[in-house]
Structure 1
């Protein structure tokens, strides 16, 4: 199915809720698509399986911080330090970081200070139905 769409229009998100058993096979399958422009995102970073292995072995274009991390940016120094390290590591391999579940101005400013590239959440905008979205 991915071969029928221009790869530059695709961001393939891998959820961190399922383990990757064979990184070599996954990379081999994705390599031609990534070479043609497909971007790889790791969703739900901060929960589930192998965040660091995904970063090291898949070299994603995007890391998406889950609510498990973003909700603790203000009150947990350990979470904030972990996010800072993940942001730095992701940027060093040429990737971007998206923080999900930004609910307050305080969270937004703390994540911005960590150099997070983009965000999602009610503080930034409520979801709208497809009919209301502008092209």
Structure 2
């Protein structure tokens, strides 16, 4: 193989690798964007009862702003049910996923009129979106 073709084949391999990497990165970004968009659609049901901006008050349910890393049932100016007042966990991706899957199983006798999201991909999408709006 001549030196000219050797350089050309190396260049073509480099271009192919670049195109592959570009495709993977764009697919990943598109996948993340789609996940956030799906979560945003799911969250529209939550805003009937919850607010999520730092300076908003509560609705029927507590304001969700800053919930990740906070102890459940711990907002001082919200009137939680006894079930929530005795909840003993901190909100993380995992605890929120467990709660969203079966709210009344995790917190029996809670007043939230929500039966849960059975699909793991819906829960993941909702949590992904929530982390874009409720994290300080």
Bin for the TM-score computed over the shorter chain: under 0.3
TM-score by length of 2: 0.25
Which fold has the larger relative contact order, with Cα–Cα distance below 8 Å and residues 6 or more apart in sequence? 2
Give 1 or 2 for the bigger CA radius of gyration. 2
Larger relative strand fraction: 1
